[in-house]
C-alpha cells in the first residue's frame, strides 16, 4: 500500500513535469486562481480600509500595512521559490523548474520594489524620514538588486540552458540574504518595528487588523500563482514550439 502511494506520487510528479500536461492543467487552474485572488483582495481591502479600527498611535496611517507587509513577505517568498527551483534544476536538470524560476523573477522584483516604496511612504509621517540605511531597509534593497541581477544575467545569455544555470547559481548564492532580512530587526537596532504577526502564540496585533492582513497576504500569494502559471505557459510555448503538442494546440486555435 505504502509503496503504491509513493509510486502514484512519483507518477504524478513525472506527469506534472511533462510540458503538455503542465500546460493543460495550468490553463484550467488560472480562472479559479483569478476568482479566489479577487475575493481575497476584496475581503482584505474592505477589511483593511473600512472595518479595521484606526491604530491608537498611527491613526489611519497604519493602513499602509496592508500593502507593505504582504509585499515584503512575497518578495522573500518568491525568492525562496526561485532558489528551490534553481536547486532542483541544477541537481535533476528538470526544465520545468527552471521555467518556474524564470517566470517568477519579474513579479518578485515588483514586490521588493513595492515593499521599499510603500515602506518609504509609511516611514515619512511615522519616522520623519523617507529612508534610513539600517539593516532591514538595506537588506531589502539588496534583495531588489539580487532580483534585477538575476533578470539581467539571464537576459544577457542567449543559450537558454547556460542562462538557466548561471541564474540558478546566482539565486542560490543570494539566498543567504533572506534570513538576514528576516532577523535584521532582531539582530540590529533600528527604527523598523519588530515582527508582530509571526509570533503566533501571542500576536501583538488585534484580530480585526490581523484578518485583513492575512487576507491580503493570501491574495498576493494567489496573484503570484496566477502570474507564474501564465508566464510558465508562455515559456513552454516558446521552448516547445517545434514539438507535436504545441503544433496541435496552435492548429486548433
Partner 1 sequence: MSEFFAMGGYAGYVWSSYGIAAIVLFLNAFSSLRRHQSILHRLKRLESK
- The minimum distance between CB 146 and partner 1, in angstroms, equals 18
For partner 1, the binding residue among 8, 59, 179, 194 (CB under 8 A) is 59
Q: How far is Cα 112 from Cα 99, in angstroms, rounded to an integer? A: 21
Give the residue among 205, 71, 200 at the shortest CA–CA distance from 140.
71
Using the rule CB under 8 A, is 67 a contact of partner 1? yes
For residues 217-236, which are near partner 1 according to CB under 8 A?
Answer: 223, 226-227, 230-231, 233-234
Using the rule CB under 8 A, is 73 a contact of partner 1? no
Give the residue among 212, 200, 185, 207 at the shortest CA–CA distance from 63.
212
Q: Name the E strands within 137-252.
A: none
Q: How far is Cα 188 from Cα 195, in angstroms, rounded to an integer? A: 13
Helix, strand, coil share (%) of the chain residues, nearest 5: 80, 0, 20
For partner 1, the binding residue among 68, 102, 136, 192 (CB under 8 A) is 68
Which residue in this structure is represented by grid cell 534553481? Answer: 86
Using the rule CB under 8 A, is 75 a contact of partner 1? no
Q: Which three cell numbers stand for residue 180?
A: 538576514
Nearer to partner 1, 14 or 241 (CB): 241
Q: How far is Cα 156 from Cα 158, in angstroms, rounded to an integer? A: 7
- The minimum distance between CB 173 and partner 1, in angstroms, equals 26
- Name the segment binding partner 1 (CB under 8 A); options: 46-54, 131-139, 142-150, 161-169: 46-54
**Interface with partner 1 by CB under 8 A: which residues?**
49-50, 54, 59-61, 63-64, 67-68, 71, 106-107, 110, 113-114, 117-118, 121-122, 124-125, 223, 226-227, 230-231, 233-234, 237-238, 241, 246-247, 250-251, 253
Amino acid at each position: 500500500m505504502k509503496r503504491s502511494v509513493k509510486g502514484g506520487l512519483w507518477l504524478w510528479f513525472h506527469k506534472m513535469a511533462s510540458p503538455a500536461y503542465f500546460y493543460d492543467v495550468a490553463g484550467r487552474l488560472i480562472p479559479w486562481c483569478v476568482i479566489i485572488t479577487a475575493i481575497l483582495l476584496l475581503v482584505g481591502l474592505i477589511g483593511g480600509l473600512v472595518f479595521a479600527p484606526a491604530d491608537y498611535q498611527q491613526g489611519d496611517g497604519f493602513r499602509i500595512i496592508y500593502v507593505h507587509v504582504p509585499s515584503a513577505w512575497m518578495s522573500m517568498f518568491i525568492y525562496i521559490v526561485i532558489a528551490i527551483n534553481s536547486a532542483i534544476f541544477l541537481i535533476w536538470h528538470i526544465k520545468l523548474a527552471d521555467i518556474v524560476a524564470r517566470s517568477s523573477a519579474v513579479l518578485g522584483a515588483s514586490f521588493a520594489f513595492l515593499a521599499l516604496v510603500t515602506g518609504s511612504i509609511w516611514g515619512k509621517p511615522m519616522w520623519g524620514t523617507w529612508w534610513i540605511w539600517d539593516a532591514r531597509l538595506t537588506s531589502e534593497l539588496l534583495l531588489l538588486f539580487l532580483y534585477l541581477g538575476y533578470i539581467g544575467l539571464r537576459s544577457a545569455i542567449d543559450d537558454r540552458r547556460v542562462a538557466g544555470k548561471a541564474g540558478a547559481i546566482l539565486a542560490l548564492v543570494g539566498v543567504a540574504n533572506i534570513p538576514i532580512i528576516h532577523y535584521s530587526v532582531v539582530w540590529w537596532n533600528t527604527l523598523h518595528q519588530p515582527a508582530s504577526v509571526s509570533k503566533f502564540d501571542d500576536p501583538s496585533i488585534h484580530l480585526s487588523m490581523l484578518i485583513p492582513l492575512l487576507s491580503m497576504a493570501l491574495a498576493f500569494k494567489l496573484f503570484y500563482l496566477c502570474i507564474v502559471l501564465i508566464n510558465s505557459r508562455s515559456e513552454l510555448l516558446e521552448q516547445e514550439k517545434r514539438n507535436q503538442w504545441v503544433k496541435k494546440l496552435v492548429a486548433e486555435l
